[in-house]
Amino acid sequence: MVTLTFPTWMEPYRALATGKVSRDQWQALMRQLLWPVLGIGLFLLLWQFAAQRIDTSLGQFPGPAQVWEQAGNLVSEHQQSREREVAFYERQEKYIAARLQQQPDWEPVTRDYTGAPTFFDQIGTSLITVMSGFLLASMIAIPLGIVIGLSSTVHAAVNPLVQLFKPVSPLAWLPLVTMVVSALYVSDDPMVSKSFLTSMFTVSLCCLWPTLMNTAVGVTSVSQDLTNVSRVLRLNALSHVRKIVLPSALPMMFTGLRLSLGIAWMVLIAAEMLAQNPGLGKFVWDEFQNGSSQSLGRIMVAVIVIGLIGFLLDRLMLMLQRALVWDKASAQR
């Protein structure tokens, strides 16, 4: 049976629409709507106030209004670029058709459109890069974490290394990764660019650790009672891991994955700046190098977008966690 109900957080709005709002619901409304809106408003005011007092070599620091304007510019630039692209392909098709008419044995040559990536293209690149790096890291960290959690010997052997590499900043890894990628990834017809690989590996190296540690802890803390059940049932080592250990460790594992994805996104921006991978990081860097009067406003747009995407990625992981993890209490926030 399916019943349509409002999610609990929507209840106060429904009540507001019908005009019957209880005391608790007023409080919920204030908490969900009023205080956040006031907070953001206050922040905008402070920002505006402070921005007017900062003069940089690139002009005045952008306030909310200028940033909003630049956001509009970025959107329209994107639209113009798309129009140019469409026009380019139309022209090419017409040209080919015309030439084929005159010269039927001619082999047509098609060319790709080569306009500079727009802000939105760069967001796409960043998302692909961060997800690749995150997936690679998870593929390494989860199995390794399970092994570390299961064996105190492996734990003792690996732990010093983990503690040593965990705090390393992406900036320290990057030159090494760049050189290794350049040396090993040699191909005449590369599938992906070197800058993509460099950024991806740097992201992986930096975001590996929370998943690794949390998986290991999750595996170690499997309840003694459940282990006893497994022993009485004489589950073999593989079934024991599959049926008892993995499901028990799943909530912790997800906590680690969420932390890892957060770190991955943060690291990515720095990695892209230095590796010149055509993503948001490069956008920020290019604008900084460009140094026009609009640059700071455009960078500020990027900052806000980076924050929003990071937030959305976290929510996405949380939704995934809620869908997959049996322990609903572990996925509350």
Partner 1 sequence: MKALLELSNVGMQFDTPKGSFEALKDVNLKIADGEFVSLIGHSGCGKSTVLNIVAGLLHSTDGGVILDKQEVTEPGPERAVVFQNHSLLPWLTSFENVELAVKQVFKKTKSRAEIRDWVEHNLELVHMAHAMHKKPDEISGGMKQRVGIARALAMQPQVLLMDEPFGALDALTRAHLQDSLMEIHAQLGTTVIMITHDVDEAVLLSDRIVMMTNGPSATIGEILDVKVPRPRDRLALADDPTFVRCRQQVLQFLYEKQRKVEPLPKRTDAETGAVRKRA
* Footprint of partner 1 (CB under 8 A): 152, 223-229, 231-235, 239, 243-244, 247, 250, 326-327
Smallest distance, Å, CB 247 to partner 1? 5
CB-nearer residue toward partner 1: 17 or 232: 232
CB-nearer residue toward partner 1: 223 or 290: 223
Smallest distance, Å, CB 2 to partner 1? 18
Residue 316 to residue 271: CA distance in whole angstroms: 23
- Strand 59-60 to 55-56 pairing: antiparallel
CB-nearer residue toward partner 1: 231 or 315: 231
State the DSSP code for 59.
E
Contact between residue 149 and residue 213 where contact means Cβ atoms under 8 Å apart: no
Among candidate residues 186, 177, 146, the one with its CA nearest the CA of residue 267: 177
What percent of the chain is helix, strand and coil (3-state, nearest 5)? 80, 0, 20
The SS3 of residue 20 is: coil
CB-nearer residue toward partner 1: 113 or 326: 326
Among candidate residues 275, 260, 268, 263, the one with its CA nearest the CA of residue 302: 268
CB-nearer residue toward partner 1: 244 or 299: 244
What's the token pair of residue 189? 């017809």
Smallest distance, Å, CB 178 to partner 1? 44
Smallest distance, Å, CB 241 to partner 1? 14
Smallest distance, Å, CB 239 to partner 1? 8
